[in-house]
A and B are shown apart, each in its own frame.
Chain A
Amino acid sequence: MKNYLLFIAGACLWNGSLAGSTPVSIPVSYIQQGKDNSLLHAIQQIAERNGKKLIYDKEILTGKTVHPYDDELPLEQLLPLVLSGSGVGYQLKGDKIILHKVATTVTPVTRAVAQQQEWVNGTITDHRTGAPIVGATVQLVSTNRSIQTGVQGEFKLPLVAATEVVLLRVRYIGYKTKDVTLTPEQLKQPLTITLEEDLFGLDEVVVTGQGLDMNKRRLSTNIATVSGKELEKIPAARFDQLLQSKLPNAQIRLTGGQSGATSIIRARGVVSAFKNSTPVIYVDGVRMDNLNTASTIGGGSAQGSGVSSLADIPIDNIERVEYVNGGAATTLYGSDAANGVIQIFTKKGGSDRTTVTAEATIGAERATTDFLHFDRTKELLFEPGMFQRYNVAVNGNSGKVGYSVTGAYLNSSGVQVFKQNQNKRIDLRSGFKAELHDKVTYESSFTFVNNSYKRNRNGNQGGYTGLWFTESGASATTGPQPRFNPRLDELSDEEFAKMKEYVHTAERLQDNEIVVNRFQTSQSFQYRPMQNLNIKAVGGIDYRVLRNQAIQTNEYLTHTTGNLTTDRGNINNSERKYWGLTLELNGQHKADIGDLSIITTLGGQLFRNEDRQVAYIGSNVRDGARNISEATTTSSNEFYSEVVNYGVYLQSNLGWRNKLFLDLGLRGDGNSAFGKDIGVQYYPKIGFSYIPSTESWWSENLSFIPSAKLRGNYGLAGNFPPPYRNLRTMTFPSYLGSQAATFGMPGIDLRPEKTNTLEAGVDLGFWNDRLTLSAGFYHAITNNALFSVPAAPSTAENEALRNVGKIMNRGLEFSTQITAVQTENTALRFNLAVNTLDNKVLSSSGAAPFNIAGFSERTIQTVVQEGHPVGFIRGSYGEFGEDGVMATSTPLQYLGTTIPDLFGSMGFDLQWKGLNVFANADYQQGAVANNWDSQFRYNYGAGDEGIPTGEINSEYGRTRWLSFTNMFIEKTDYIKIRTIGATYTLPKSAIGSFANYVVIGASVMNPFSFASSSFDPEATISGSAEGQDGATTGGISYATYSAPRQFLMSVKISF
């Protein structure tokens, strides 16, 4: 392995040397250089392009050459730039440019001016509305020095040293980046720079999957970017909820409405049958714990549905989020990224004036009762709740140091009775940026999150759970004697009052709590030894400690089982400590050789994760004790996992005339979980990008499509196997208290599964980009997919992962944004994303089917089997005779896929002066799920559930409830409106000098759901994935709470 790395490093060095031998020039956008670099030629071209006549004395231009310049700059900026230092001045008169000799030598004067001019200052405004842009970044291109604009769009940036010209780069997400060349004369005056909205995003700079900065124009892949400003509008309590409906080609579904519930996030299908489809998440270059299923030692209340690590990823102070969805876009992440990568960039500075922003959001929470079967369940299990969130942010920049500090407190009382789902959260975050040297910049961010929440029992937790008792009809078989009629709506008031008392006591006596403390930091240094070389080192950690405590008192057990229990009170604790370290070092070199521009990135990345879980359980505990030291007997358990992945990558992006790009990349990876004979794993990629709209033939014939990009690529990304599964081990169970030994893991030489993606697409902007359209297709094959293969019994081996599978995902991806109205005061935009998906297990190499979630084989499972989609529903298929009695039943049948074949999101955004109204929604179609609650209701006699009366009245009664599971399968098509909201920025006249600005807002979360299923199509217990980080596709609706509705008001004030 190390020899390979040496070889790769050597190869990289060779490449670096080669690149180093090429001429180096200042990187400037929009350069179009002819071969003739004489000043005369340049001026002639500029005049021609601007339709001006040139009047000059040839002598004053003889022998003078020109530096690279941006010929798209306005003439007024371009001429001083081109002529600076040449001793030639100009005058613009009508359609003439008159050149003349400058009497005095320019250079010394400029220097003198520059020396006096230590600052550059000005204002950044929106080209359309004229409104100041707050938070735009103004960068001095010759250095990494930058500053953010203040609340009036103002900026003041110190200059480094005397220079003839200054190149400023102004960027703000959603706007076209602007490079402004300033002459010393211009620097004397405060500048007003206007930015145009970038609806097409061709020149947006992105990082994720590229090593360092890269212009989107150059990319052969799609990268979705969401601005912090956009995210701030959504008052979500957790990160994945924040992104719901925001990523055009990804689907994010919360699988339950309780705090900390797991989610299903997937974009290009389900590429793996062993690993959860959650993308890898980075914060400022540091890999986060992204466990989105129950952990190995789940314990306590995690048993029914897992606790997601995504629920406590910090959500404050986000500058922007980038998302790449696998394939070539994530090749540089190697063995870790077949599910895609989400990267969060945090704020690390503000304007030169310190601003303090305070925000308060308060409102009401109401249970989403749309999907309850019985009307009366609401009264039994839910109550109104209250939501409050307060946030204070301090941003500023003092000389060479930028800072950004926030603190937030959230308290949601939840909608379940007795505040059994209350959620409290404290977020503290700081980000700093410092210029240590004119070539070295340092950035750091620290975050601490404390999150604690309650959870009442849910899902397949065994024993009493509120929803199982009420909605699944279990009150017919459990609870007090005599049993209740499980048809709640038919109960007499008196009986219902009794049931309410029983349920409320059972809910009140539950005592489950989850506490998460999470600390993370990212530290990075950027060193720019020369204009065209940037070296970045990032290191950071994520440390997350979760404690999950479930206390069952004797009182609770006695109440819910109906048997007097005096010695079974117990405290079930589990703790999971995750420690992740990320180190990355990379360098990016930019070279321009004639029409060719080459960006070469070389880097190395390492991450290692430790995951230690312990359970400590006390049995026979006295009611009231909260500590297992008070227990009569105690027991414990432990799980430990550690993995390290390390790789080097090289990427070269070759551009020709800024319109045609070739993207090449390779990553080589080693990983402690690979089998010992596997060696380095390589992930290559190749892609192209072409901007035909820059061609004259395009602008002449297709002027209504001013922006266009064609792209295509092929690339690999992987998923590494779980740690230690490559070892041949012994395991040591107990035999009557003595140690015993038996076979453990069979020692399979595991390699990562690799997803090969071929994709192509076109991005078009019509009518001044008023309509943008992105369309593409992808075809991805996961080879060597890790399947959990039950061994042939005669081998006596345990079930083990093997690289035997082949999974296909393919689909079309469309997204469009329509700017219906765009005037100085008004903008109205609509966005729509449509994705299709075709998922299939092409081969399992003869291995037997296996389940990834569900219950026992003869009940209901989601299964992986050759020829079917991953995680299809398998159960008994029953057919009924004419008499309504079941005639045949065939077990283990395909009952439908849980993966939708169509999904996407939509939204609108209306801005009128200070008012902003927005809404977003997402939808899916083509998947099904099993209504397990309904199946239970049938079994318990709580409903007939559409089963023919012939069967119910037959000699079998309701005993064959598992023989026709097909009768309980429902389509899960839905459209869910996630947010409807409005904000209003008070006019300056209304607030006077009280504050810089005041924004008031109102929003409704989860207001409407339109679903084809009678149950919540989202709430499908993904926490039941088999094992930690296991694949899941949902698909079973069972005793799971829906996310509540929230009606919120907010006030945001900046001082």
Chain B
Amino acid sequence: MKRFKKPIYMLAGTMLLLSSCELTEVTNPYVTEDRFIPSFQSLETWLNGVRRQASVTVGTVVEFSELVSDNYFNNYTQSSKVFDNPEINYFDQDVANIQAAIHKLMETSRFGLEELIPLQDEDVSQQKAELLFYQAYAHILGAELYIGLPTEARGEVRSPNELLESAIVLLTEASSLFSETEDQAACTLLLARSHYRLGNLTEAVEFSREAITHPLSLRQVHYGTENGPSNNFQSYIFSSATNSFAPLPRLDFLDPKYFHQTTTIFEDEKPIAIAKAEEAYLILAEALVAQQNIAAAKQTLKDLLTNCVGKRPTTMLNDSKEKRNGGNRKDYPLTAASVKFDTESVTKEGLVLDRSLGNIPAYSVSGTHITLSDVDGAVTADETLYLIYLLRQEIFIAEGRRMTDLGIRFPISQREQLSNSHVTDKHTKAIIPDFIPKNRGLDDFTYDTASGVVTIKHDMNRILVQHKNSPYIMPFHK
């Protein structure tokens, strides 16, 4: 008996030894949140993370909303195959990914404000202001792109107007904390934009007038370096060899807005503007049209061209590799062609470039084919309004703004709906106004190679003006 028990104890003893010794411990190569928060320079590192997130979020928004709009057509197999239609379903992963990108910016800036700022001993007002600025910007993106969004994890859905009201509060505080003029100017531009979108004409004019006192103010998100973040849109329109995204032929001369001129792509990735003075001029002009002050509106547009757009940088670029040959459409004009904005329009020259002939001008901030005389030519309110929306389209191309101007909004994603009880069926349907053509009509054109004339199927700016009273567009015309 005694003899029998011995090995059993030995066995149990060995097992206990195994369970208690180092054999059960593992090395964790990751930094846990608990360890990170109190660590050295955590706020600075986090702020970099928020800046990075801003770049990533803007990159995502630009990629997909440009496809939804009439600006760009996806001529390749990567990225969304249906936004061009436009077909926007709440179960589409891209819809969820864009929403997630916005929430990530919102939540990372909130984490900085709530978890890290209070732990700091020294003056961190500049960091706080920057975090507030990005949080506000996330709210603006939500308001402009979505039918509504929660602002807390699985929280209530807030309407675009509520999101904009929050953005205004955040921007006001940020502006009061910022010490640098250019930072304050960026806040002012976003305040003007928020009020514009809310239809608050008086406040929008007030902030726009303040903003154009700095006619070249510009706030961008940045890209580059080997480990990113990368400007995917630049890759789609220029850097990748596949010529994936193609602009509407009447916007051909504005492409590419982002490009590299170095051997290694990541050494030259262009920033994307999120606030620029041009917008203040355009808001002001639109407000003046709404007030039937056409002359002042036209003067504002002239100021825009002279004081602002005309002074933005232009680069002479070799774009001879652009063949617009991603695969889905093979009839993009590659040599200089005349363009008719729709079948009714007169032909215009110089909008489609022959890139094989030599360097072309590239506008990395703003460009337009509208001249002072074009502005002079506008007589009626509608003609001026048409010009404003054409200018908005050309100036903001590749910045993810056009989809909002077209009145299109994303639905809240199925991924959100599945675990957020506040999301109802009405939140899961996209807004695509009736005047938006279907079946890739936004990007459609015909190219008569014999006569060298490209005819765009729909002049969307004309259609917008016709529907200016639609609740989805032109907020001052209600």
Given A734-B227, A740-B51, is A16 in contact with B92 using a C-beta cutoff of 8 Å? no
Contact check, B418 vs A792: say whether CB atoms are below 8 A apart: yes
Given A535-B7, A959-B328, is A585 in contact with B14 using a C-beta cutoff of 8 Å? yes
Residue of A nearest to B98 (CB): A793
Contact check, B49 vs A742: say whether CB atoms are below 8 A apart: yes
Chain B residues within 8 Å of A736, by CB: 222, 224-225
Q: How far is the CB of A687 from chain B (nearest CB, A)?
A: 24
Binds A, one of B29-37, B243-251, B289-297, B308-316: B29-37
Query: How would you classify the secondary structure of chain B's contact residues: helix, strand, loop or mixed?
Result: helix
Q: Which of B7, B46, B89, B416 has the most CB of A within 10 A?
A: B7
Residue of A nearest to B97 (CB): A793
A587 interface contact, C-beta 8 A:
yes
Chain B residues within 8 Å of A461, by CB: none
Q: How far is the CB of A493 from chain B (nearest CB, A)?
A: 29
Q: In whole angstroms, what is the CA distance A1007 to B4 when docked? A: 58
Chain A residues within 8 Å of B77, by CB: 859, 962
Q: Which of A773-802 contact B (CB under 8 A)?
A: 790-797
B450 interface contact, C-beta 8 A:
no
Chain A residues within 8 Å of B99, by CB: 793-794
Given A740-B51, A793-B100, A856-B78, is A567 in contact with B263 using a C-beta cutoff of 8 Å? yes
Given A740-B49, A795-B153, is A9 in contact with B81 using a C-beta cutoff of 8 Å? no
A93 interface contact, C-beta 8 A:
no
Residue of B nearest to A855 (CB): B77
B23 interface contact, C-beta 8 A:
yes
Contact check, A794 vs B5: say whether CB atoms are below 8 A apart: no
Chain A residues within 8 Å of B181, by CB: none
Q: In whole angstroms, what is the CA distance A535 to B5 when docked? A: 12
Q: In whole angstroms, what is the CA distance A735 to B91 when docked? A: 31
B373 interface contact, C-beta 8 A:
no
Residue of A nearest to B14 (CB): A585
A744 interface contact, C-beta 8 A:
yes
B42 interface contact, C-beta 8 A:
yes
Chain A residues within 8 Å of B36, by CB: 730, 741
A527 interface contact, C-beta 8 A:
yes
Q: Which of B90-134 contact A (CB under 8 A)?
A: 91-94, 96, 99-100, 102-104, 106-108, 111
Q: In whole angstroms, what is the CA distance A932 to B24 when docked? A: 46
Chain A residues within 8 Å of B357, by CB: none
Contact check, A608 vs B23: say whether CB atoms are below 8 A apart: yes
Contact check, A13 vs B8: say whether CB atoms are below 8 A apart: yes
A38 interface contact, C-beta 8 A:
no
Q: How far is the CB of A899 from chain B (nearest CB, A)?
A: 24
Q: What 1/0 flags go to A1-19 for Cβ under 8 Å of B? A: 1100110011011001100
Q: Which of A567, A797, A857 has the most CB of B within 10 A?
A: A857
Q: In whole angstroms, what is the CA distance A19 to B83 when docked? A: 72
Contact check, A734 vs B416: say whether CB atoms are below 8 A apart: no
B320 interface contact, C-beta 8 A:
no
Contact check, A730 vs B33: say whether CB atoms are below 8 A apart: yes
**Interchain CB contact (< 8 A) of A734 among B27, B28, B228, B413:** B228
Query: How would you classify the secondary structure of chain A's contact residues: helix, strand, loop or mixed?
Result: mixed
Contact check, A606 vs B418: say whether CB atoms are below 8 A apart: no
A811 interface contact, C-beta 8 A:
no
Q: In whole angstroms, what is the CA distance A690 to B327 when docked? A: 68
Chain A residues within 8 Å of B12, by CB: 9-10, 12-13
- Number of residues on chain A facing chain B (CB within 8 A): 83
Contact check, B100 vs A735: say whether CB atoms are below 8 A apart: no
Q: How far is the CB of B423 from chain A (nearest CB, A)?
A: 9
Q: In whole angstroms, what is the CA distance A640 to B27 when docked? A: 9
Contact check, B419 vs A741: say whether CB atoms are below 8 A apart: no
Q: In whole angstroms, what is the CA distance A883 to B24 when docked? A: 68
Chain B residues within 8 Å of A20, by CB: 1, 4-5, 8
List the count of A-B residue pairs having beta carbons below 8 Å apart.
227
B26 interface contact, C-beta 8 A:
yes
Contact check, A847 vs B5: say whether CB atoms are below 8 A apart: no
- Number of residues on chain B facing chain A (CB within 8 A): 86
Contact check, A724 vs B103: say whether CB atoms are below 8 A apart: no
Q: Which of B11, B49, B226, B329 has the most CB of A within 10 A?
A: B11
Given A732-B45, A733-B228, is A794 in contact with B153 using a C-beta cutoff of 8 Å? yes
Q: In whole angstroms, what is the CA distance A561 to B8 when docked? A: 70
B38 interface contact, C-beta 8 A:
no
**Interchain CB contact (< 8 A) of B31 among A2, A583, A732:** A732
Q: How far is the CB of B379 from chain A (nearest CB, A)?
A: 39
Contact check, B31 vs A17: say whether CB atoms are below 8 A apart: no
B478 interface contact, C-beta 8 A:
no
**Interchain CB contact (< 8 A) of A796 among B33, B82, B103, B228:** B103
Contact check, A795 vs B33: say whether CB atoms are below 8 A apart: no
B161 interface contact, C-beta 8 A:
no
Contact check, A727 vs B30: say whether CB atoms are below 8 A apart: yes
Residue of A nearest to B151 (CB): A794
Q: Which of A603, A642, A791 has the most CB of B within 10 A?
A: A791
Contact check, A790 vs B153: say whether CB atoms are below 8 A apart: no
Contact check, A794 vs B53: say whether CB atoms are below 8 A apart: no
Q: In whole angstroms, what is the CA distance A646 to B106 when docked? A: 42
Q: What 1/0 flags go to A720-744 for Cβ under 8 Å of B? A: 0001100111111111111111111
A644 interface contact, C-beta 8 A:
yes
A747 interface contact, C-beta 8 A:
yes
Q: Which of A573-591 contact B (CB under 8 A)?
A: 581, 583, 585-587
Contact check, A846 vs B18: say whether CB atoms are below 8 A apart: no
Chain A residues within 8 Å of B50, by CB: 742
Chain A residues within 8 Å of B419, by CB: 791-792, 846-847
Contact check, B82 vs A891: say whether CB atoms are below 8 A apart: yes
Residue of B nearest to A529 (CB): B7
Contact check, B48 vs A739: say whether CB atoms are below 8 A apart: yes
Q: In whole angstroms, what is the CA distance A320 to B18 when docked? A: 30
**Interchain CB contact (< 8 A) of B415 among A1, A583, A734, A792:** A792
**Interchain CB contact (< 8 A) of A742 among B20, B24, B53:** B53
Contact check, A529 vs B18: say whether CB atoms are below 8 A apart: no
Residue of B nearest to A648 (CB): B15
Residue of B nearest to A602 (CB): B11
Given A9-B12, A606-B24, is A740 in contact with B48 using a C-beta cutoff of 8 Å? yes
Chain A residues within 8 Å of B103, by CB: 793-796
**Interchain CB contact (< 8 A) of A642 among B4, B26, B224, B229:** B26
B377 interface contact, C-beta 8 A:
no
Given A587-B11, A733-B227, is A792 in contact with B154 using a C-beta cutoff of 8 Å? yes
Q: How far is the CB of A309 from chain B (nearest CB, A)?
A: 21
Given A567-B263, A646-B23, A740-B48, is A796 in contact with B32 using a C-beta cutoff of 8 Å? no
B25 interface contact, C-beta 8 A:
yes
Contact check, A727 vs B11: say whether CB atoms are below 8 A apart: no
Q: In whole angstroms, what is the CA distance A481 to B416 when docked? A: 48
B358 interface contact, C-beta 8 A:
no
Q: In whole angstroms, what is the CA distance A847 to B25 when docked? A: 33
Contact check, A846 vs B24: say whether CB atoms are below 8 A apart: no
Q: In whole angstroms, what is the CA distance A738 to B106 when docked? A: 22
Residue of B nearest to A527 (CB): B7
Chain B residues within 8 Å of A189, by CB: none
Chain B residues within 8 Å of A12, by CB: 8, 12
Q: In whole angstroms, what is the CA distance A859 to B103 when docked? A: 27
Q: Which of B42, B53, B93 has the most CB of A within 10 A?
A: B93
B414 interface contact, C-beta 8 A:
yes
Residue of A nearest to B78 (CB): A856
Instruction: Given contact pairs A529-B7, A727-B32, enumerate 6 new A-B contacts (beta carbons under 8 Å).
Output: A585-B15, A734-B227, A735-B51, A792-B416, A794-B152, A795-B107
* Partner-A contacts on B (CB < 8 A): 1, 3-12, 14-16, 18-20, 23-34, 36, 42, 45-46, 48-53, 55, 77-78, 80-82, 89, 91-94, 96, 99-100, 102-104, 106-108, 111, 149-155, 222, 224-229, 241, 263, 327-329, 413-416, 418-420
The 7 closest A-B pairs by CB, nearest first: A796-B107, A734-B227, A740-B48, A604-B15, A793-B100, A735-B52, A16-B8
A-B contact list, 17 entries, CB within 8 Å = A5-B15, A9-B15, A21-B1, A563-B241, A583-B18, A602-B11, A604-B19, A608-B23, A635-B226, A646-B24, A730-B32, A740-B46, A747-B33, A791-B419, A793-B100, A795-B153, A939-B327
